Amino acid sequence: MKLLHSPASPFVRKVLVTLRETGQLSDVEVVNIATTPMASHPELIAANPVGKIPALIRQDGPTLYDSRVICRFLDARAEAGLYPEKRLWDVLVLEATADGIMDAAVSIVYEERFRPKEIVSMDWIEAQWAKVSRALDALETRWMSHLSGPLDMGQIAVGCALGYLDFRHDVRGWRTGRPELAAWEARFARRESMVATRPE
């Protein structure tokens, strides 16, 4: 299999962490793709008509894209139990919450990096950060018992989302007022899979 990726993407990191946690990293050729939201790489478009990373090219089936699809496939392939049936809906909601944080955080980066400075919308940026902030508050107040339980995909997604906030939005100080989530992140970030995939 071949994974089309960009090392700065939190969605790609989710897949890379999953590959490591499920022991499948050696089964996948990781290919770096230079792409932007304004001009997707031709190889990426050929694999994923939406032109987004990550994309997992398989020899025995169609290409998989969207990190949630890829991670679910990898978990099923390894029978790793990252989507446990007894907690499935909680895991899926937690993963969706983390992906929402990533979506909003990446959107801020795109607004600042790819739009002409004279039309960058601070209202848009703050609206995206408000989504992040609400999701972080929900993690702090509703999800800590789940985050502290056995490893699942919800935890991996949250770990990658928080890592992206540190990587791209550290000045926002997401830990302020969220001591339990901050303590959890400090522990989770020490996992071998997280250390190995930390963006530069």
- Residue written as tokens 């089309």? 4
Q: How far is CA 40 from CA 3, 89, 168, in A?
A: 16, 33, 21
CA dist., res. 3 & res. 22, Å (int): 16
User: Which residues of the chain are modeled with pLDDT < 50?
Assistant: none
Confidence at residue 75, expressed as pLDDT on a 0 to 100 scale: 98
pLDDT, residue 36, reads 77
- The pLDDT value given to residue 162: 98
Map out the domains of the chain with their CATH numbers.
2-78 (3.40.30.10), 85-194 (1.20.1050.10)
Q: How far apart are CA 162 and CA 84, in angstroms?
A: 23
Q: Whole-prediction pTM value?
A: 0.95
Spell out the residues 6+ positions from residue 35 whose beta carbon is closer than 8 angstroms to its own. 6, 41, 44, 51, 53
What's the pLDDT score for residue 37?
Answer: 77
pLDDT, position 40: 82
Name the residue among 50, 100, 52, 95 with its Cα closest to residue 75: 95
